[in-house]
Amino acid sequence: MSRLEAKKPPLFITEPLTKDGVSQSLSLLSGILKSCYGPAGRLKQLHNGVGGYVCTTSQSSAILSRLPVSHPVLGVLMASVQNHVSRFSDCGLFTAILCCSLIENFKSLNIASCTVIKISKHLLSFCMDYLKSEACGCRVAVDFSSVETLLCLVRSILRSKPACMLNKTEVDHLTTLIVKAFLFTVPCHAESNAVLGKCVIVPMKGRRVVDSTVLPGLLIETPEIQLANPLTIKRTSSNTIKIALFCVSMSGDSFNPEEGTITVHHGISLEMSELNQLLDVGKQLVNDEVGLVVCQKVIHPSLKQYLKENSVMAVDRAGLSLMEPLSRMTGSKPIASIHLLSPSCYGSLKDVDIESFASKNFVHLIPNDTLVCSLILCNRNETAWDELKRACETAEHVLQLTLKEPLALLGGGCTETHLASYIRHKSCSLSTSSFEDTDCSQAEYQLVAEGFCRSLESVARSLNHDDGEILTDMVYGHCWFVPPGFPPVSNWSDLVSKCGCGINGNSENLKWRLLQGQFGSPVIHDCPKEPLVKIADFLTLDCYAAKCSGLQVALETAHLILDLLYVIKDQN
């Protein structure tokens, strides 16, 4: 007998942002994220509390994907940041921190949220126009004729992930490798629809970082290979190696039906008939002059033996993740059935080799062109390796984005403070027509602009995790850090040597002022200038596309959350 239970009515929560719990959770989340930000950021240990793997990280992608939150407001925020990260890989923490700060700052203004939204949209358009304009003082053009800027971009990413546990030489080594791997994936002969290749990361945990290396082509791990025997591989007349790529299991068990029962007479062995079919496939492969057979899954030992006897090399258990790059690199089509074997599926390789790293042996497939390459990534322990892998993937993605849009933004907090001083300057010198456009008073506009600027500056402030002061200068609007333990004196030039991004030195008097916290008095600004020399070595640079998107995502998400009027909870 079924039992009926009355449905509970849904729960309505009005103006969720005004509730205590929400703002507490929001500030806790913002605290967690702020504490992770930058090269000196603090790490988080993510684990289940009962032993087992511990993930030590300061990256938004790792933290946000594992943080189950109870409140829908936080859910909205995290979902949009994660969406940004999945598209751009970089600037996740920037987006999340900015979004939290915007919500906090705007909420404390006591101005109707629709007005706030209108004004801040206006401010965002200022920012975006400025970032896109040639006159923008916080962006640099990326010159692909030299690798220096690319190295700066990658180095900045690696250095901002302290849980990778890299020292300076290791950062430099990996930076070079990542840029090298990226350059491998760029086609030599650009056509109108050129497609970038792929860099596959090969894990090598427990080794020193400096043992990492990049190889053109792909590596497939083969645990039990007899290294003593020299490779005997059949080659075609054009001295290439014909390769057949199987994505179907060749272990001889494919007679296994999903459901139902097969009844056979005694003496009939399905296994044998399956094996015979496999050996027929083998015969055809040998006839077709295939030199190398790669299978995603397992190859039956008898088939392997048959192939070996006919000097065809068989490599199995290549894994799903290698299939796409394999087929791309060799031009072969993955064969999904052992019953249909068309010669058009075969691809070709330049050479095959055996490589050994530490205790692992790999079959190295060397292609005719190097669009696909392998980054053998080493780090001393697992948690640091995982963090490094995420960082390398981010760096690779950032380089790809930069290739599309060859610009970079100054890092180290300088873009944020520079934008803030630009907005301050801009909002002071607005014509009255602009206020009419946004239906607000000048005072309201000023207040919102100030909140906006403080939110930007609070991102720069989160780069500092010790008790030192943070300054900005009145000339370039860059961000400067004072080591902890010094009293706030007037003569800052003794205490600072370089700005956050490293482009300005303290040679001229730059009229420093403290980057105020939440309740400082607004300062009137001139339009911040562009630094005189734009290209210098060892700059901290951020990805242009990722940061621009982050700025927009943060603002739009903040708007959405500020605009929330009801939360309706289904209690059943």
Partner 1 sequence: MAFRDVNARRHIGLQQLSSLALAGRTLLGPVKSCKFIVDESTNQSTLICSAVRLIESLDLTSAAGQLLNETIQAQNKEFKTGMSTLLFLVGAWSNAIMECLQQNVPVSAIVSVMSEGLNSCCERVQCLQISIHDVNKELCSSSVRPNTFKSKTCQIGCDSLPNPQLFLYFQKDISVPEVIPINSCSHQDDDCNFKKHLVSPLAGFGSVASLVKPVGDKSTSVISRSGVTTSSCNKQKLTHSRYFSTLGKSYFSSQQGNFQGYLLGTSADSCECCGLGHLAMALSHGNETSMKLLQSIVTYQQERAEHSGSSQFNVAEIVTCCLLGLPESYSCASPGFVTLVSPEQVTVVEYFEDKLLRILLIDGDLTERYRHLGFNRSCNVRTIVEHPRLQEEDLWLSRMLDNLINFEVNLVLVKGNVCENLMERCIANSILLISSVTWNVLCSFGEVTGAQPVTYLTQLNASFVGSGAQVELWKACDGRAMDLGELVPVRVKARGIPLLTAVLTTTIASKMQLIEDQFWTLVYRLHHALNDKKVFLGGGAVELLCLSHIQMLAEQPLQPANQNAVKEFHNPWLAASATEYKSVVLQALASGWKQYLLVVMCNTTAASELEACTSVDHHLRKAADCGSPSAYILKEFRRGDLLRDGAGPFAGHREGLKVYDNVTAKTEAWRRALDLVLLVLQTDAEIITGPRKNQLLNSHASSEYMFL
Footprint of partner 1 on residues 322-381 (CB under 8 A)?
358, 380-381
Give min distance, CB of 336 to partner 1, in A.
17
465 binds partner 1 (CB under 8 A): yes
Alpha carbon 423 to its chain centroid, in Å, reads: 29
Task: Please pick, from the candidates 54, 141, 195, 523, the single residue that binds partner 1 as defined by CB under 8 A.
Answer: 54
Task: Please pick, from the candidates 313, 335, 384, 423, the single residue that binds partner 1 as defined by CB under 8 A.
Answer: 384
Alpha carbon 57 to its chain centroid, in Å, reads: 14
Task: Please pick, from the candidates 11, 112, 194, 264, the single residue that binds partner 1 as defined by CB under 8 A.
Answer: 264
Please choose, out of 116-124, 134-142, 293-301, 420-428, the segment that lies near partner 1 by the rule CB under 8 A.
Answer: 293-301
Count of Cβ atoms closer than 10 Å to residue 369 Cβ: 14
209 vs 423 by CB, closer to partner 1: 209
The bridge status of strand 218-221 relative to strand 313-315 is unpaired
Task: Please pick, from the candidates 5, 12, 20, 70, the single residue that binds partner 1 as defined by CB under 8 A.
Answer: 70
Please report where in the chains the tokens 């001139």 appear, as a residue: 526
CA-closest candidate to residue 415, choices 104, 140, 176 = 140
CA neighbours within 13 Å on the CB side: how many for 333? 9
Give min distance, CB of 486 to partner 1, in A.
9
Task: Please pick, from the candidates 44, 107, 390, 461, the single residue that binds partner 1 as defined by CB under 8 A.
Answer: 44
Query: For the sheet containing 351-357, what is the strand order?
Result: 218-221, 360-366, 351-357
Whether residue 510 contacts residue 476, with contact meaning beta carbons closer than 8 Å, is answered with: yes
Please choose, out of 106-114, 142-150, 184-192, 223-231, the segment that lies near partner 1 by the rule CB under 8 A.
Answer: 223-231
DSSP 530: P
Task: Please pick, from the candidates 6, 12, 49, 490, the single residue that binds partner 1 as defined by CB under 8 A.
Answer: 49
Computed on alpha carbons and rounded to an integer, the radius of gyration of the chain in Å comes to: 29
Cα 570 to Cα 7, 9, 37, distances in angstroms:
10, 7, 36
CA-closest candidate to residue 528, choices 434, 419, 450, 452 = 419
Give min distance, CB of 484 to partner 1, in A.
5
Give min distance, CB of 27 to partner 1, in A.
11
Contacts of residue 240, Cβ cutoff 8 Å, sequence gap at least 6: 348, 349, 350, 368
Task: Please pick, from the candidates 13, 43, 183, 233, the single residue that binds partner 1 as defined by CB under 8 A.
Answer: 43
Give min distance, CB of 14 to partner 1, in A.
22
Task: Please pick, from the candidates 485, 491, 521, 571, the single residue that binds partner 1 as defined by CB under 8 A.
Answer: 485
Please choose, out of 69-77, 212-220, 512-520, 557-565, the segment that lies near partner 1 by the rule CB under 8 A.
Answer: 69-77
39 binds partner 1 (CB under 8 A): yes
193 binds partner 1 (CB under 8 A): no
Q: How far apart are the first and last CA of the chain?
A: 21
Which 86-125 positions form the footprint of partner 1 (CB under 8 A)? none
Give min distance, CB of 485 to partner 1, in A.
6
Which 294-323 positions form the footprint of partner 1 (CB under 8 A)? 297-298, 300-302, 305, 316-317
297 vs 513 by CB, closer to partner 1: 297
Interface mask toward partner 1 for 523-542; x: CB under 8 A: ---------------xxx--
334 vs 502 by CB, closer to partner 1: 502
Which 10-29 positions form the footprint of partner 1 (CB under 8 A)? 25, 28-29
176 vs 249 by CB, closer to partner 1: 249
Count of Cβ atoms closer than 10 Å to residue 215 Cβ: 20
443 binds partner 1 (CB under 8 A): no
Which 409-428 positions form the footprint of partner 1 (CB under 8 A)? 412
- 3 state DSSP class of 261: coil
42 binds partner 1 (CB under 8 A): yes
User: 12: which 2 tokens?
Assistant: 């309505």
Alpha carbon 511 to its chain centroid, in Å, reads: 37
228 binds partner 1 (CB under 8 A): yes
- 3 state DSSP class of 498: strand
Give min distance, CB of 341 to partner 1, in A.
21
- 3 state DSSP class of 433: helix
372 vs 479 by CB, closer to partner 1: 479
Please report where in the chains the tokens 């987006």 appear, as a residue: 95
In this structure, which amino acid lies at residue 174? L
45 binds partner 1 (CB under 8 A): yes
CA distance 225 to 219: 14
292 binds partner 1 (CB under 8 A): no
Task: Please pick, from the candidates 217, 325, 502, 528, the single residue that binds partner 1 as defined by CB under 8 A.
Answer: 502
**Beta bridge partner(s), residue 568:** 12
CA distance 160 to 482: 19
CA neighbours within 13 Å on the CB side: how many for 485? 1
Give min distance, CB of 6 to partner 1, in A.
26
DSSP structure string for 401-421 = HHHHS-EEEETTTHHHHHHHH
Interface mask toward partner 1 for 241-260; x: CB under 8 A: --------x-xxx-xxx-xx
207 binds partner 1 (CB under 8 A): yes
CA distance 478 to 518: 19
Which 134-163 positions form the footprint of partner 1 (CB under 8 A)? 159, 162-163
Give the number of residues in contact with partner 1, rule: CB under 8 A: 95
Give min distance, CB of 170 to partner 1, in A.
10
Give min distance, CB of 499 to partner 1, in A.
8
Task: Please pick, from the candidates 87, 121, 132, 208, the single residue that binds partner 1 as defined by CB under 8 A.
Answer: 208
CA distance 212 to 224: 23
37 binds partner 1 (CB under 8 A): no
CA distance 139 to 409: 4
**Beta bridge partner(s), residue 198:** 372
CA distance 503 to 411: 10
